[in-house]
Structure 1
Amino acid sequence: MIGLRRFLEQLRSEGVLREIREPLSPVYEVSATVGKEPTLFTDVNGSRVVMNILGSRELLAKALGVPHDRIIHHLSSCPTEGEVKIVGDSPAKEIIEKPDLSMLPVLTHFEGDGAPYITAGVVVSEYEGVMNASIHRLGVTGKDRLVARLVEFRHTYNLHRKAAENGESLPIAIVIGIDPVILFAVSTRVPEGREFNYASALRGEPVELFECKNGIKVPHAEIVLEGYIHPTEVADEGPFVDISGTYDIIRKQPVIHLTNMMHRRDPIYHALLPAGGEHHILMGVPYEPLIFNEVKKVADVRNVVLTSGGCCYFHAAVQIHKSSDDDEARKAIEATFAAHKSLKHVIIVDEDINIFDPNDIEFAIATRVKGDEDIYIYPNVRGSTLDPRSENGIGTKVGIDATMDLSKRWKFQRVRRPKI
């Protein structure tokens, strides 16, 4: 696997890694200093912190080893089943000690944050032979305690609830500073327990896993925190800035007790800036192949993008080739909403529209949309609690057919400059 350190060396050799050696506090100063480029802070309370390693599509393409314009095709055709390899040792075991979160440069990102938050920690859990790996925001409440936001009815929530119903704690391990491809893989919706298999398939080589003291198997990392989610104990979680750049609410959420901590010598702590580019890429791009493959069932789909202006989460642009049926666009709208249930608005465009160019998308709306015929409204449906306009996750979805009328195609075709 490429590994975090090797990827950083690649970025450094290509001249795209910014390094800041000025001493900074983890409280506000790092978040105030970071820009959009990959950045390594070498002295955050004496520790190293890296941000934005997957902060753009270009960086994701580098990690995946594919051209920028082929990401969707690579992801939509990649199998979810790759081989994983169990190994007996790991560089993460270089130092093993009692858990003490004050030793880590956990960031407080914004004024109003409810706590310092671990934002790039992958929580690996297992119960009754069922494994899950996913990113959760983790608020620090003590040297060996965290409060985790577990979204209702997703895998970690379900495993914790099942363990709690049996009066048992859920064993977990939190890995920080992992291979960027594994980080992307665990952000993707794949069959239950196949996150590391998917990472192996993406890389074309096995992901190595090693076993923690509590039996949880995890990939190599800069930092590993072991512990368990208490069956009944809860604490206030939040406020926290989420994908929209607005504050999510305070909730009672499960408490994690840590029992062991191991890390590399001079570890590199990875942090995601809430509502930053890396947050958007990891939350949004994994839905694009799901949309692509669902739309492919009803239309000749060419490309999909979750737009940056839509927080890489709420807005999608889908490019199709219409051949004989004007109704393909409506079918594509409904397939898109079926694939990404938190989506709020989708626009369907023709293949001559550049879906990465907001001006081109606006041009399609301006010239190819008739409001009373081409806009589809779906009120009072399940969306996302992260949408500030929703009420407990219930809102309205809108689909826009911005494709050409096939019977009058000549009216919509764009002029081309003559060649001299």
Structure 2
Amino acid sequence: MYKDLRAFLDDLQERLPSDFVRIERPVAPHQFEVTALLQHLENQKKFPVLFFEKPLGMDGKPSAFPLLSNVFATRQRCALSLGMKPSDGELPLSLEYARREDMLLAPVTIPAREAPVKQVVKRGNDANIFELPVVRHHAMDPAPYIDMTPVMKDPDGGFYNISFQRNMVKGPRKLGLHMSPRHNWQIHRKNEEKNRPTPVAIVISHHPAFYLGSLNVSPFGVDDYAKVGAIMGAPLRLTPSETLGTDFMVPADAEMVIEGHVLPNVKEVEGPFGEFTGYYGPQRLRNVIEVSAITHRRDAIFQHIFTGHRDTWVLGGIPKEGSLFNLIRGVVPTVKAVHFPMSGGCRFNCYISIDKKVDGETKQAALAALGGCDFVKHVVVVDADIDIYNEEEVMWAVATRVQADQDVDIIKNVKGNTLDPSQTDNIMTAKMIIDATKPVQRPYEARVAVPKTAMEKTRLEDFIPRSVLDRVPKV
């Protein structure tokens, strides 16, 4: 059974109806109105999916495409997208992602006449980005940005790579593309060295599991279409692109695909842009995409990610948790969980719990995490009695189980992330390991606990009426 965004939205409205808010009033995404609403909700600690029925296009006219925001802002919705119970959004979600990431599921091909994304085809000058409800996110962003996933195909191996990258709207058929030095960048470099343009397809509004799958941490050379299928739990359906036909396949069930080429040896000013870090990524000379076609469903939904907020953080954190769990388990089989907390933008801070048997396992687990993901700057390793999804518990372990001169390691001159604002060098950074586990070789003070028998025998409802208990505020 194939999967698409519409099936997920139907499931969401049935199972988590309070998570879906429909907005009927016209809104101007290119004038910060969408992100202003999202920020107001965030200030109230509310993170619903917003469905804007009447957004304006960049041309100021009513757009034909409704706009979808904030899909990934809760772990419960991400769990739902993988076919799990919303209540399984913490450790079970990470472990299930880890299980699926170990697999590949080959895509299937369908003809263009059967592909929903081919219901409307616009080529050349008819492919007008200004008609789309593209969002301008933060005050210093110079233009609206499409912040979904460009797909590229390796010219040598023939595999596809999918990556979240920012695309600055520069004209009706022109985008500025920022690429960090990862897989898509490597593919483009191969073409650029031979003065060839790089075919690209930006996939907009697919099933959320497609985007979770696109963030898998696999070696260069693994086909992301097959990896995404494994994460989705169903083969990804592909169809020939308009620009290159069967030489470049695109997802058939997306709401929209923007096709084009990254021009060789052409760079223009791009940015600044409010990034996942919560800071602006600086203005730089970056690559340029020339758009050749836009294909979409007749009533296509346009989606964006609220970059620098929970919508980005949760989306990016869950795949890294699964990937690193698999990696760490190879060297420390007693690993229990891996978590990227909101406090580090679900990128820079990593919490690991292990059932430690010997003292050296802590550092083994931490080094595996640092080596497996260059985003990670700070690793805190705790014992299995600590809930790593509860940051108060993690910090309590740091406060009571760490001696800084013995349990903290600093590693200098390591490859970091170009968007980290704390780096004085463009790419080099320092990393830190905090061992917040109890030593194995000597006794340690016991953690306080109310007797289990008393907890089982003494029920709140027997002493405090439910009507009173429900009024007591949570802190």
| TM-score, shorter chain, exceeding 0.5 | yes
Give yes or no for the alignment of 1:242 onto 2:275: yes
The match for 1:76 among 78, 98, 101 is 98
- What SS is found at the alignment partner of 2:412? strand
Structure-2 separation of matches of 1:407 and 1:155: 44
Percent identical residues: 29
User: 2:223: which partner in 1?
Assistant: 194
The match for 1:49 among 67, 92, 117 is 67
User: 2:260: which partner in 1?
Assistant: 227
Structure-1 separation of matches of 2:189 and 2:232: 33
CA displacement at 1:235 relative to structure 2: 1.0
CA displacement at 1:149 relative to structure 2: 0.5
The match for 2:118 among 89, 93, 116 is 93
CA offsets 1:224-243 (integer angstroms, 9 cap, x no match) = 11111111221111100111
Structure-1 separation of matches of 2:384 and 2:138: 41
> Would you say the 8 A contact 1:125–1:173 is kept in 2?
no
Structure-2 separation of matches of 1:40 and 1:133: 25
The match for 1:24 among 13, 18, 27 is 27
CA displacement at 1:281 relative to structure 2: 2.2
Going from structure 1 to structure 2, the CA distance change for 1:17 and 1:124 (only over 3 Å counts) comes to farther
- Name structure 2 gaps, 5 residues minimum: 42-46, 57-61, 455-475
Matches within 5 A, 1:231-270: 231-270=264-303
Q: Which of these two proteins has the greater Rg computed from alpha carbons?
A: 2
Matches within 5 A, 1:22-171: 22-26=25-29, 27-34=31-38, 35=41, 36-45=47-56, 46=62, 47-66=65-84, 67-68=88-89, 69-78=91-100, 79-89=102-112, 90-97=115-122, 98-128=126-156, 129-152=158-181, 154-171=182-199
> Would you say the 8 A contact 1:368–1:412 is kept in 2?
no
> Would you say the 8 A contact 2:212–2:231 is kept in 1?
no
Structure-2 separation of matches of 1:12 and 1:257: 38
Structure-1 separation of matches of 2:151 and 2:228: 16
Going from structure 1 to structure 2, the CA distance change for 1:366 and 1:125 (only over 3 Å counts) comes to same
Going from structure 1 to structure 2, the CA distance change for 1:337 and 1:226 (only over 3 Å counts) comes to same
- What SS is found at the alignment partner of 1:62? helix
Higher strand fraction (1 or 2): 1
Structure-2 separation of matches of 1:263 and 1:126: 25
> Would you say the 8 A contact 1:126–1:172 is kept in 2?
no
Give yes or no for the alignment of 1:175 onto 2:186: no
Residue identity in the other structure for 2:255: E
User: 1:289: which partner in 2?
Assistant: 322
Structure-2 separation of matches of 1:193 and 1:88: 25
User: 2:431: which partner in 1?
Assistant: 397
Structure-2 separation of matches of 1:414 and 1:397: 33
Give yes or no for the alignment of 1:203 onto 2:207: no
User: What TM-score, normalized by structure 1, do the two folds share?
Assistant: 0.95
User: 1:415: which partner in 2?
Assistant: 449
Matches within 5 A, 1:369-388: 369-388=402-421
Going from structure 1 to structure 2, the CA distance change for 1:365 and 1:44 (only over 3 Å counts) comes to same
> Would you say the 8 A contact 1:38–1:53 is kept in 2?
yes
Going from structure 1 to structure 2, the CA distance change for 1:410 and 1:126 (only over 3 Å counts) comes to closer
CA displacement at 1:126 relative to structure 2: 4.6
CA displacement at 1:418 relative to structure 2: 4.9
CA displacement at 1:204 relative to structure 2: 2.8
The match for 1:218 among 235, 250, 254 is 250
- What SS is found at the alignment partner of 2:217? coil
CA displacement at 1:417 relative to structure 2: 3.4
CA displacement at 1:193 relative to structure 2: 4.4
Give yes or no for the alignment of 1:333 onto 2:362: no
Structure-1 separation of matches of 2:340 and 2:162: 23
Structure-2 separation of matches of 1:65 and 1:11: 11
Structure-2 separation of matches of 1:131 and 1:388: 31
Residue identity in the other structure for 1:317: Y
CA offsets 1:57-91 (integer angstroms, 9 cap, x no match) = 11111001133231222122223311210000311
CA offsets 1:340-386 (integer angstroms, 9 cap, x no match) = 12211010001110101111011101111111111111123222222
User: 2:470: which partner in 1?
Assistant: none
Segment of structure 1 superposing worse, 236-245 or 33-42: 33-42
Residue identity in the other structure for 1:65: G
Give the length in aligned residue pairs.
Answer: 418
User: 1:317: which partner in 2?
Assistant: 351
Going from structure 1 to structure 2, the CA distance change for 1:410 and 1:157 (only over 3 Å counts) comes to closer
> Would you say the 8 A contact 2:160–2:224 is kept in 1?
no
Structure-2 separation of matches of 1:125 and 1:25: 35
CA displacement at 1:332 relative to structure 2: 1.5
Give yes or no for the alignment of 1:10 onto 2:11: yes
Structure-2 separation of matches of 1:207 and 1:87: 10
CA displacement at 1:410 relative to structure 2: 4.3
> Would you say the 8 A contact 1:126–1:170 is kept in 2?
no
Residue identity in the other structure for 2:271: G
- What SS is found at the alignment partner of 1:347? strand
Structure-2 separation of matches of 1:130 and 1:349: 39
